[in-house]
Structures are given as structure tokens and as C-alpha cells.
Amino acid sequence: MKFIAVALMLMSAGVTAVQLAAMFAGTLAPWTIGLGWLVGAAAAVVSWRALPDDIKWERPGLLGWFVLACACLFVLRTSLWLAWEQGMDLRVGSPKNIGDFSLHFTHVAFLERVPPFWPLNPIAGADPLTYPPGMALWTVMLDRIGFSLFGAFAFGSLLGLGLGLAACWRWGGAFAVAVLMCNGGLAGWAVLKGGVWVDFQDGQVWKSIPHAMLATQRGLLYALPAGLWLLVRWREVFVRGRGAWSWIDCWIYATLPLFHVHTFLALSLLLGTWFIAGLPRRALLGYVGAAFPVAGFLLWRVTNGFAVGGDLRWDPRWLGEGGGVGKSLLLSFGAWLLVLPAVAAWIGWRWWRRREPVAREIGAFLWPGCGLLVVCALVVFQPWAWDNTKLMLWGWLLAAPMVWHGWLAAAPRWGRAPLLLGLFFSGWVSLFGGLLVSRQGHGIANRLELDDARMAVRQLPVTMPVAAAPDYNHVLLLAGQPLVLGYDGHLWSHGINYRDRMVQLEALMSGGSDWREYADKLGADYLFWGNKEARRFSGSAMGWRDQPVVHHGPAGTLYRIR
Amino acid sequence: MKNRTFHTWAIAILLVAAGFRIWALGLKPVHFDEGINGWFVDQMTLTGAFRYNPANFHGPLLFYILFAAQTLFGRAVEVLRMPGVLAGLAVVALAIHGYRRHLGNPAALVYGAFLAVSPAMVFVSRYAIHEIWMLLFCMMTAFGVLEIWARRLQTGCWWLWLGAAGMVLMKETYVIHLAAFLLAWPTWLLFRRWLAPDETPAHAAAPRPTARAFLSATAYPALTAGLLIAFFYSGNLFHLEDLKGLWTTFAVWTETGKSGSGHEKVWYYWFGLMARYEWAAMAGLVAAARLCFRSPASLRWLVISGVGAAMAYLIIPYKTPWCIIMVSWPLPLALAMALVEASARGWRVVAVAGAALVLAHGVWASWRLNFINYDAADEPYVYVQTNRQITRFTDPLLAAAKRDPRLLHAPGAIVVDNAYPLPWVLGEFTRTGYYHVDLPVEARLMDFLLVQQSRRAEVEAMLQDRWIVRELRLRDAFQPVAAYFRASVFGPELVGEARREFGRQGEPTR
């Protein structure tokens, strides 16, 4: 437990220091990275001394070892085969990571070019960055101390997921780890029909958490261990009333917006619910009040002064994704649809009728967790409805592990086996099915084109967005150069208002007689024409064709158009 | 010896060991075997797992270790070698901190110091090959047995089973060591009956564990070891059929061990190496004979097993110099015990002088071997070693790719009989072809070539434009080779070198 907090302090204090120093210096200069390591190391040492000695860890039984072994296999496989170069290809291990890894790689490649700070958004070159930069900064920090670029990604993943598993074990033992790694309903039972073993849950909205979230959302590599560690601490302090919160608890909570805003919001909702429910209000107020300055500043910064936000709407059918909600729920959650409400009601009855302290403790997490799941099933918070699952993850991690404490732990051993099978088999099949399909990797870029793009961008200022095809794996993005606009799926889901600019970009790339007007409107001094552009704007008149060529190579041609 | 004094000495010895192992780690050119191991690591990245081939090369674990290192820290010879360095340091640390429970503090320190400066230990630790790991796991297994002997059942079982699993996962020669450990048992029983009784150790008074307690302590470690072996040998469970390689390998291996591999040596080969480099092991031979007669039971067993394994290595004709560390590792331990005993019996000056002489020789021989003659053909430890001249070919290529990453995709051809370690060194170059017999018809389109001396005329007849030509040797046993660099591409890296015009008559120009 102690090592989890120390590692989190190293990461969060280091990254925050880099960010503040870079903001002070106006650029992500090398010394800011060095300072980040110094501050992070100091925070780690101080927190190691400040934290009490660890209590003894629960020793796993046979089933616990099995769950841990499966989880470790996933972590090693996903992290060490995250991305690699293969012949002419740059490949990613997971098919779900094609777009996400491209975006994260873009952020890191951009920061590696030492941009002014606070940086521009590389996928919306005229805007400030409105995406939590914590993990990208951490990756740059790792890269600067000797990890290779891919190695920094891989190590970040190994460390984050390893800490996440340890924190999850602390949160709810083997059952909680199974909840995290083997979430699922009925979809995976299809494996018994024979045929190819795949991630059968992939077609559902509520996908396998490891494959859909842990492998793809790098912010969770901090937020998952941090969130689970906070839950363990809050259980002790606010629910059980043992001891007081410390500055370490406060700091880890306050820096969450720098890594994963959804986790910060979900955990803040939990604190709010407790406040309303009457848990020690004075302590809660003090805690949130102490975290507010840092958390508020970071939230303000990563949302560009709260300029990007959600898109709140009532949509009880989103979980069905156009199909039947009931069928989707059954395939996604299966037995949990019965078990969770039943245990929530049973715990409620135990608290209401018998006033059992244990029921209160379980209910403090189970009821808000169930509530968050229900709300997320009915209300969509973000432009892309699937982003709701980032909040649902925390509803799930709050509620599902309580099934063990509230019911299964007391059930006879012979009765547990079929129940555990019913709850986790489908998710377990998905966990390994997802690994089986990922062995050869999936190409995201041609290395020759990428290396050519790296040569091209050496001639450009890092602050100069280039007009090019808006694609998630554009080689200029992967080479660290901002584009006027990147992939519209990312722009949309990040809540960026881009539609007018997209129209202008398409007009510019179409190269009609008025292209200069659109170049002026977009502030684009450079235009890139490569394979993606030729495909996407195949009918382009290329009116800027006679403009000076800055670079020409296998990736394409870079024109100076203003 | 006070605890504080012991730890101070232990840290000092580990620092010396680290210095010898880490300093100028990339100095020695990539070895032939390292090139092959690195190539397997590259294949693992592409295929998602290591596929065990019982007819070729060794167990899977080293490749996973090297894969993790290369994935995290990138392609560099220092990265490939660093895991071996850490294993080498773990060997010294285990000798000092682990074995001290059984040897006593002074003997453990002396043993650790012998290992820290041993030319073979240093030389092999600075290679990305299997042997240093094999030694680490072998010492772990032996340590596990010593711990069980000392009634620390739970700890001992974990060390024993994880060490044994590590050996099985590392190299097929595990069977020699496990057999030596097992056969040492009846031999020890015979020795104590016919030669002399054991000295009584302190833990003899502790109750002997019951069979039930032993089974209970060994269940989890044994299960873990079995699962690890199955997991790695089956290509991460993706290729369960590969598990049968665990036993089919011995059919191949026994043939390799007998003859025809080109690595056959005379039976006394090891003694020659020890006399030249490993004085601690040489003197330890005499001390080991002494320990067989009089020592606590566990150490007697350890020395018997070590001598047994060494005899097996004497008999097997297949001998490569890096196996010396597996042959000799318990012998410095025996010498350390003998020196400490001599000191205790009033021969302190002799003991200190003896230890100092052996250590001084180790330091001198290690320095000469690892930092001066690291690729010299007349050093017996330098075996199938790539010549330092390889950098005359690889340095311009790597420097050019750093200048312009597009040159990673420059077309090139390697036309030599045995190209390793180049496939790993140039692993990032995407358009390099390897040709053993036929010259590529498109040779004139290449930007760089490496050609055996005997085929230069053939190649030069195909070339056009201006080229820079360098002569070098990949290995002393091979004929010289010529490296061709297209001047228009690699000119900035080869400023001042003569350009030769091909395709029309002309003299070299500058």
C-alpha cells in the first residue's frame, strides 16, 4: 500500500512540477523535466517517511493466484507489445488502440519537440490543449531518462497497470481484481459453441474493461491506482472513522484532473453523495476544501478555462447502440443485472432493520456505485455516448466488489463456484480472446513516410499548424507537428467546436480559386499533400500547387502557402 | 565479524563487481551469439512469443529477459548486455548475503570477492548469453538445498524450485547440474560412512521436518515452477505442442555434446583455462578435496555436487569457454573456506597473502581480458568473437541514420557466408538483404554493401557511380570483407576518405 502511494506521489508531483515550471518558463525546456524528476523524487521520499508502516497484505488462495496470474499476463502482454516497429510498419498490439495510441503518440511527439507552454492542441492547432497532459508529460519524463520512446510508453503502462492491480487487490482482494479484469455478461459464453476464441464482448457498449479502457486510455494508468488507493483510504477515514486524512490523500485526489478528468468527477460525486448522506461532513468539507485550489486550477487549465465541456442529454437507449437495450444489457452484464440490485436491496434491509455497521460500510460504496451505473445508463454526459463508460467504470468498481463483502464471502463454498462462474466466465473469455486477436499487431503508419515527415518538420516551427488531411494517424501528427485540424472523431469527443473550421479546411484542401481566403481564415502557412490527402481530396484542383515547396519526399510534399 | 563491518565490505565488493561489469559495457563488439539472441528478440516482437526449437539454441527465458530490456530501453548493445550484468551482480550478492548463513561472514566475503574479480565471471557477465543466468539459477537451487538443510523449509523450497525452474528455462545443460545435485546425495552418504563423519552444524539440534511439512512447504513453489516452465516453453500458452521439446531436445543435445559441432576440446581444457585465468578455482580444487573429508554436511554435499558437475563437463567433448563458470563456481568457495580456516588456525599472514595474490591476479587478468584484449584471438576466452573492425562498416550506417532517419530505409546488401551479428545490429534498417551465395542482381541499386574479399571483382563489375570502400574483418577466422558506401549518401559520415568511380575507368578521387 505504501509503495503505491509513493509511486503515485512521484508521478503526480513530478508531472505537476514539470507543468508549472514549463508554464513559468514558457516552454517545455529540458531543465523543467529535470526539475520534475527532482520534485517527484523528493515527494516520494517525504511521503515514504510520512506514511505509516504497511499493514499485512491478504495472502491469495489458489483462486486468488489464478486471478492475479491472469491479470499479470494481460498487463505484461498489453504493455510489452503495446507498439513496435515491424519492417516498414509502425504497429500497435491492440486493434482498439489504433486511434487512441495514435493520439497519445501525437501528444508525446509534440511535447518532445519542446513547444511553448501551455501548449497548443496538436489536433486543433489554433487552440490551446484541452486534454489532460499528465501521462504524455510522464512519458516524456521517462523518455528523457533513458527509456526508448516506445519503452517509455511500455514502462508507463507496466507501472500504471501494476500499481492498479496492487491497489485493486487492496480495495477488494481477488474478487475486485476479477471485477476489474473479467467484467462481462453473457456474450462470452458463445465460446462454448466452438469456433474461434475472440473477445465476444467487443460488439457491446460495455466492453471488456482491460481491452477497451486499460489498454487504450493512458490517463487511467495514473487514475486507476490513484482512484482505488483513494477509495481504500476514504473507507478508512470517512466511512470507518479511523484516523484523519493526510496531505498525501489530498494531493493524489487534487492532481487527478491532470491525468483523467472522468475519474476526478466520479470520485468527487462519491464525496458529494457522502456529504449529503451525512458521513462526517466536517472532515469531508475540510478535505475537499484543501484539494480545491490545486484541483480547481488543474481543471481550469485542462479545460481551457472550462471552455470545453460535456453534452448532457437524456438518452436511455444509448446502451443499446441502436439495437435492443435489454439484449445489450444481458450480453454486457448478465447475472450482474440480478445480483447487484439484489445485494443492494439486501444490504439496505440489513442497515434499515438491523443497523449493522458492516452494512453501512458496504452501502457507502455499493449504493453510490449502483446509482452512478443507473444514471450513466440513462443520461449521456459527453458528445460521444461511449465516453459514459469512463464514469461507469467507477460505478462498477465501487459497486461490484461489494457483492463479495455483502453476500458471497458469507455464502457456503459449494455455492460460490457456480456464482463466480456466472459472474466472471464471460469476462474471462473476453480477456484472453482479446489477447489472441492481437498477436500480429495492426499497422498505424509507414515508417519511411514517418521518418520522411520527421525530416520535413525539422524545417517548421512547432507552433505552426499545417493544413493536411484530418486523420488520427497522419504522419505529421506522429512526427510531432500540429495540424490545423486532426481526426474529427477525436475533436468531437473532446468537445472541441471544429465544424466551421472543418468546412474551411476542406475548401482549402480542395484547392479552388478561393484557397487563399481559407488559408487566411485558418491561419495555415503550410499545406501538406501526401497519400491521405490524395485519397480524401481526390478531386482537388490543387490551386496552391505552384507555391514554394519546403519539402518533398516519400511522405508527400509540403508547400508554403502564405 | 561485526554486522556493520560485514556490510561495509559487502558493499565495497559489490561496487568493485559493478565497476568491472558495467564500465565500458559497449566496448566489446556484439558477439556472434549475442547477434543471434538479439535476432530472436526481434522475432519475438513480430510473432508475439518465443517458439522453442529443441534442435536449435536454448531455453526461452533469456529471450524474454532480453526482449523486455530491448522493448523498454531500445536497441543498443549496452541494453542487451545489462540484464546479464545484473545477473552477474546477483551472483556476487547471493554468494555474499545468501551463502554467508552457511559459510560464515569472512568466508562469504572472500568467496564474493573471488567471484567479483574472476576474469570469467566478469567476461561472461558482460555478454548477453545464457551462462551467467544459468549460474545464478544453479546457485539459487543449491542455496535452496542449503536452506532446507538448515531447517528453513519454506524459504528453502522457494529458492530450490525457482532456481530449478530458472535452470530448466535457461539451458538444456540443467540436466547435468540437477543430476550432480541428486547424485551428490548418495555420494555424501558414502563419504560420511567410509571417510569421515560430518562436522556438526549449529542447526543440527533443530527438529527434523516431517515429510508432511516438507510436502506442504514445497507444494506452492513446485506448482509455480511447473507453471512457469509450461508457460515459457509453450510460447506463452500459444503453442502447447512445443512442450514436448522439453524432452525431445536431449536426443539432439546428446549428439551435439559428443562430436561434430566444431567445439570439441581435450578433456583437460578446463584446467588450462583455470591455470591461466582462474587461480581461485585452481587453488580451490585442492581445498575442495579437503572439504570432502571434513566439513558440515551441507557444504560437503555442495562441494561433492560441484565436483560431480565439473567431471561431467570434463567428459563431454563439446566445450565452449563460457561454460567455465558452470564448471568452477564452487571451487573459489572451497578456497575461501580453506583460507578462513587457515587464518583461524594461526596462519593469518599466509591466508591473507594467499587471498591477496589470487585477488590481485584476478583484477589484473580481468582488466587485461575485458578492457584491452577483449577481441584478441590469442585469449582463449575470446571465442567466436566479432572483431572490433566491424564498426568500420556499422558506424557510418548508424551515424547516417541518426543524421537522416530516412536512411534507415536505404537499400543494402550483405554478401557474406555468416553475417551474424549484423542482422541484429542493423535490425532497424528495413531494406537490408542477406545473401549467402547469389549476388543480388540489383546490387548496383544498393546504397551500401558488405562483400567477402573473394567476390569483390564480381560486385565491382556491377557497381556504378562513386563509392567509398573500406576493408575489414568480421571475425579473425573469416576472410576479410569489403564495405561499399555510396558516396552521395554516406559522404557526410566518411569525409576525407577516397572515392572510387565504378562503371567506367578511373582512379580513386578525393
Query: pLDDT by residue (tens digit) across A354-400?
Result: 888 899 999 999 999 999 999 999 998 888 888 889 999 999 999 99
Per-residue pLDDT, B443: 77
Q: Cell 587453488 belongs to which residue?
A: B283
Q: Cell 505552384 belongs to which residue?
A: A546
> Measured between alpha carbons, how far is residue A192 from residues A188, A419, A432, B227 in Å?
8, 18, 14, 25
Q: How near does any CA of chain A get to the CA of B458, in Å? A: 29
Whether A84 sits inside 8 A of B71 (CB atoms) is yes
Compute φ and ψ for B331, nearest 5 degrees: -70, -45
Compute φ and ψ for A521, nearest 5 degrees: -65, -40
**Whether pLDDT at A243 is above 60:** yes
Least confident of A52-61, A80-89, B263-272: A52-61
Which DSSP state fits B368?
A: I
- Quick one: average pLDDT of A141-152? 94
Which residues, other chains included, contact B266 with Cβ-Cβ below 8 Å and sequence gap of 6+?
none
In this complex, is the C-beta atom of B67 within 8 Å of any C-beta atom belonging to chain A? Answer: yes
In this complex, is the C-beta atom of B219 within 8 Å of any C-beta atom belonging to chain A? Answer: no
Per-residue pLDDT, A323: 74
> What is the per-residue pLDDT across A317-344, written as a single tens digit (0 to 9) for each?
888 876 788 888 899 899 999 999 999 9
Distance between start and end Cα atoms, chain A: 57
Per-residue pLDDT, B507: 47
**Whether pLDDT at A51 is above 70:** yes
- Quick one: average pLDDT of B466-490? 91
Query: Can you count the helices (H) and strands (E) in chain A?
Result: 23, 11
Question: Other CB atoms closer than 10 Å to residue A548's CB: what's the count?
Answer: 9
H/E run at residue A181: helix A149-181
Q: How near does any CA of chain B get to the CA of A455, in Å? A: 7
The pLDDT > 90 percentage for chain A reads 70
Q: Which of B67, B120, B121 lies closest to B92, judged by CA?
A: B121
Q: How near does any CA of chain A get to the CA of B230, in Å? A: 14
Contacts of A555 in chain B (CB under 8 A): none
In this complex, is the C-beta atom of B405 within 8 Å of any C-beta atom belonging to chain A? Answer: yes
Question: Other CB atoms closer than 10 Å to residue A168's CB: what's the count?
Answer: 28
C-alpha cell at B358: 589470487
- Please give the sequence-ordered ranges of beta strands (E in DSSP) within A15-112, or none if there are none: 83-86, 89-92
- Quick one: average pLDDT of A228-240? 94
Could you give the CA distance from residue B509 to residue B489 in angstroms, rounded to a whole number? 16
Per-residue pLDDT, B89: 97
Contacts of B405 in chain A (CB under 8 A): 451, 454-455
> What is the per-residue pLDDT across A279-318, written as a single tens digit (0 to 9) for each?
999 999 999 999 999 999 999 998 888 887 677 888 888 8
C-alpha cell at B315: 567428459
Strand partners, B502: B465
The three-class DSSP label of residue A469 is coil
B256 — pLDDT class (breaks 50, 70, 90):
low
In this complex, is the C-beta atom of B205 within 8 Å of any C-beta atom belonging to chain A? Answer: no
Long-range contacts, stretch B369-377, CB < 8 angstroms, 24+ apart = B369/B119, B369/B122, B369/B123, B369/B277, B370/B20, B370/B28, B370/B119, B370/B122, B370/B123, B370/B126, B371/B23, B371/B24, B371/B27, B374/B27, B374/B28, B375/B28, B375/B29, B377/B476
Arithmetic mean of pLDDT over chain A: 91
Could you give the CA distance from residue A26 to residue A276 in angstroms, rounded to a whole number? 42
Q: Cell 558506401 belongs to which residue?
A: B485
B444 — pLDDT class (breaks 50, 70, 90):
confident
**Whether pLDDT at A74 is above 90:** yes
Which residues, other chains included, contact A352 with Cβ-Cβ below 8 Å and sequence gap of 6+?
none
Per-residue pLDDT, B53: 85
> Measured between alpha carbons, how far is residue B433 from residues A451, B426, B443, B449 in Å?
20, 11, 10, 9
Q: How near does any CA of chain A get to the CA of B412, in Å? A: 14
Could you give the CA distance from residue A335 to residue B104 in angstroms, rounded to a whole number? 60
- Quick one: average pLDDT of A31-48? 96
Least confident of A210-219, A342-351, B52-61, B87-96: B52-61
Which residues, other chains included, contact B459 with Cβ-Cβ below 8 Å and sequence gap of 6+?
B415, B439, B443, B449, B451, B484
Strand partners, B312: none
B510 — pLDDT class (breaks 50, 70, 90):
very low
Q: How near does any CA of chain B get to the CA of A16, in Å? A: 24
- Quick one: average pLDDT of A49-74? 85
Per-residue pLDDT, B258: 62
Per-residue pLDDT, B54: 83
- Quick one: average pLDDT of B309-329? 89
Q: Is the peptide bond before B421 cis (omega within 30 degrees of 0)?
A: yes
Assess contact for B17 and B116: CB atoms under 8 A: yes
In this complex, is the C-beta atom of B428 within 8 Å of any C-beta atom belonging to chain A? Answer: yes
C-alpha cell at A538: 481526390
Listed by number, the residues of chain B in 319-358 with a beta carbon closer than 8 Å to a beta carbon of chain A are: none
The pLDDT > 70 percentage for chain A reads 99
- Please give the sequence-ordered ranges of beta strands (E in DSSP) within A282-397, or none if there are none: 313-314, 379-380
**Whether pLDDT at A487 is above 50:** yes
Q: Which residue did the predictor score with more confidence, A441 or A182?
A: A182
Q: Cell 569421515 belongs to which residue?
A: B196
**Helical spans, DSSP H, in B172-296:** 174-194, 211-233, 245-258, 269-276, 279-293
What is the sign of the dihedral through the CA atoms of B447, B453, B455 and B460? positive
In this complex, is the C-beta atom of A440 within 8 Å of any C-beta atom belonging to chain B? Answer: yes
Angle at A489 (CA atoms; ends A485, A493), nearest 5 degrees: 105
Per-residue pLDDT, B204: 58
Per-residue pLDDT, A476: 95
C-alpha cell at A24: 513559468
Rg, Å, chain B Cα set:
26
Contacts of B72 in chain A (CB under 8 A): 147-148, 151, 154-155
Which DSSP state fits A86?
A: E
Contacts of A147 in chain B (CB under 8 A): 72-74
In this complex, is the C-beta atom of A451 within 8 Å of any C-beta atom belonging to chain B? Answer: yes
- Quick one: average pLDDT of A260-270? 95
B103 — pLDDT class (breaks 50, 70, 90):
confident
Could you give the CA distance from residue A135 to residue A223 in angstroms, rounded to a whole number? 10
Contacts of B230 in chain A (CB under 8 A): none
Per-residue pLDDT, A322: 64
Which DSSP state fits A188?
A: G
- Quick one: average pLDDT of B423-430? 93
B506 — pLDDT class (breaks 50, 70, 90):
very low
In this complex, is the C-beta atom of B285 within 8 Å of any C-beta atom belonging to chain A? Answer: no
> What is the per-residue pLDDT across B29-84, written as a single tens digit (0 to 9) for each?
999 999 999 999 999 888 888 888 888 768 899 999 999 999 999 999 999 999 99
**Whether pLDDT at A229 is above 90:** yes
> Which residue of chain B is at minimal alpha-carbon distance from A73?
B236
